[in-house]
Amino acid sequence: MFERSDQTLVKQALKGKKSAWICLVKRYEKPLYNYALRMVSHPEDAMDLMQDVFVAVFRNLASFRGESPFKGWLFKIAHYRCIEFYRRKKPMQSLDDAPVPEQEDEQACPAQFMADGQQSKEVHQALQQLSLNQKVVVELKFFQHATFEEIANQLGISTNTAKSRLYSALDKLKNYLELDYV
């Protein structure tokens, strides 16, 4: 079946065609929701974040010039919204600080844990120990398969900073995952 490109859907949505916008939302809601879920670790917060991102994307749709892929632009907005979400939730905490350990919510994402098993739960818990900046780099590198240059462009940092954040995140994850590599 013929699938309209993101660019075409954006143009049609800008002209007020609701079906084009809904099509665009359906195309990216799943990766965006999962991204939000990994970042905020709670289904309801992830849902709020996803809706917030789509609202922001729609409001700024006219400023999308199509020079870069729509998906990258969408996740860039998602990243900024995620930072805002963190700052609202923890205004006194730096984005480079490791989060304060909280009571683990076993019901945070039970369906996902049941589907993926024990390994998923461990990875999820380990990711929660990372600071937001580290978590974002891990997300982009491993879940979205971005290159260091793409990560640097999306986050507005240098590639060396991106690498440094990823390596420190891997070091921290290693301690929590207790991998037997020797």
Residue ranges that bind other proteins, judged by CB under 8 A:
13, 18, 21-22, 25-26, 29-31, 33-34, 37, 43, 47, 50-51, 54-55, 58-59, 62-63, 109, 111-112, 115-116, 119-120, 123, 138, 141-143, 145-148, 163, 166-167, 170-171, 173-174, 177, 179, 181-182
Please give the Cα distance from 29 to 33 (Å, whole number): 6
User: What radius of gyration, in Å, describes the C-alpha atoms of the chain?
Assistant: 17
- Shortest spacing between CB 91 and other proteins, in angstroms: 25
Please give the Cα distance from 173 to 154 (Å, whole number): 23
Complex with other proteins: residue 92 or 111, whichever CB lies closer: 111
Phi, psi of 128, rounded to the nearest 5 degrees: -70, -15
Complex with other proteins: residue 51 or 93, whichever CB lies closer: 51
- Shortest spacing between CB 62 and other proteins, in angstroms: 6
- Residues whose CB is less than 8 angstroms from the CB of residue 3 and which lie 6 or more positions away in sequence, other chains included: none
- Shortest spacing between CB 37 and other proteins, in angstroms: 6
> Could you tell me the maximum CA-CA distance found in the chain, to the nearest angstrom?
59
Q: How many other C-beta atoms can be found within 10 angstroms of the C-beta atom of residue 59?
A: 10
- Shortest spacing between CB 94 and other proteins, in angstroms: 24
- Shortest spacing between CB 148 and other proteins, in angstroms: 7
Closest CA to 9 of 54, 70, 53: 70
- Shortest spacing between CB 66 and other proteins, in angstroms: 17
Please give the Cα distance from 128 to 178 (Å, whole number): 15
Complex with other proteins: residue 104 or 171, whichever CB lies closer: 171
Cβ(37)–Cβ(123) below 8 Å: no
Complex with other proteins: residue 132 or 162, whichever CB lies closer: 162
Complex with other proteins: residue 136 or 166, whichever CB lies closer: 166
Report the Cα 58 to chain-centroid distance in Å.
Answer: 18
Complex with other proteins: residue 123 or 157, whichever CB lies closer: 123
